[in-house]
Amino acid sequence: MLLDLVFLAIGVALALIGGEFFVRGAVDVARLLRVPPGIIGVTIAAFATSSPETSVAINAAVSGVGAIAIGDDLGSNVVNVALILALALLLSHMPVAFREIRRDLLFAFLTPVLIGLAVMDGQFSRLDGVLLWLAFAFWLGLVIREAMEHRNRISEETIAKVAHPVRSILVGIFGLALLLIAGRLIVDGAEGLALALGLSKFVVGAVVVAVATSSPEMATTLIARIRGHDDLSLGNILGSNIYNGLFIAPLVAVIRPVDIGLTDLGLSLAVGAGIILLVTPLGNGIGRVRGVILLLVYALFVFLTLSGR
């Protein structure tokens, strides 16, 4: 147990350092590619910071304990919005217009809905996985189209704002590497502690591992907010949720179908869809009050998950 605590402490420290470097690199890469930082957040940053979930999913599926991976994915999505984004909102009001994120909000909302439809028959099958991958490919195509349209409108002069392009890319890669190492250490430490406390496999996945694997998202999102890059911060959260639900969860089913249904996933799916509605911008953005509400929802989610297991 002592070693698990050491892993957690080192992992948290590396996540904070890695997040700082990764955000700096990601913003400069956005300028180099002539795309909005939000596009980098919803794609490269989101996919990269979700690598711990990918690792857990593959290992769990191969080992025949896909329920842990599904619980981790859906739990991570709740953590991303109801805990991480909530904490980011507590820092200050987030000025963002609905039109700027409506596509990603829609797909983030549809993600738990589609998974719910997929498991209504009591199994997450390979066919279900492939169909969800098609939905993911459709969303990614829309994102790429937006990026190309924006790139065509922006002059190459924006690249000149990046003093040292190669260094900027290396800084981003270095930060990402630290985030991945941190994620692995935090997952190992948290999972070891949870199992030592005798928690069930699904609870370990939905609550403990979910928080642990979301550590890269937490570091990236909070540091991006502190640095004033709200589009990167919010994009990272929404992109991670879409990637977790429409790519990683289906990956588990494609590797090995999982016998799991709405009885197991109902709470995570309902909360996952509801919190997306809670962060829909109204007027001039998303305020601190909704951050408080989201934290209360997360506390209730954890309580219900633990009491039901």
**pLDDT of 158 above 70:** no
User: For 73-87, 107-121, 123-137, 181-195, which range has the lowest pLDDT when averaged over its residues?
Assistant: 181-195
How many other C-beta atoms are found inside a 10 Å radius of the C-beta of residue 127? 13
Nearest alpha-carbon partner for 25 in 207, 131, 208, 179: 179
Read off the CATH number of the domain in which 235 is found: 1.20.1420.30
Residue 88: give the domain boundaries: 2-307
More confident of the two residues 49 and 174: 174
- Which of 303, 301, 308, 304 minimizes the C-alpha distance to 76? 301
For residues 73 and 208, is the Cβ–Cβ distance under 8 A? no
pLDDT per residue as tens digits for the range 96-154? 888 888 999 999 999 999 999 999 998 999 999 999 999 999 999 999 888 887 766 66
User: Who's near 59: CB < 8 A, 6+ residues apart?
Assistant: none
Mean pLDDT, to the nearest integer, of 147-166?
Answer: 63
The pLDDT of residue 11 is above 80: no
State whether the Cα torsion 101-102-105-107 is positive or negative.
negative
Q: Report how far apart, in Å, the C-alpha atoms of 276 and of each of 6, 49, 162, 284, 303 are.
A: 35, 20, 34, 17, 20
CB 72 within 8 A of CB 205: yes
What's the total number of domains in the chain? 1
pLDDT > 90 in the chain, percent: 28
Residue pair 287/249 in contact (Cβ under 8 Å)? The answer is: no
**Which of 7-16, 154-163, 206-215, 288-297 is the least confident region?**
154-163
Check pLDDT > 80 for residue 41: no
- The answer to whether 233 and 225 are in contact (CB under 8 A) is yes
Q: What is the pLDDT of residue 202?
A: 59
Indicate whether this model's pTM tops 0.85. no
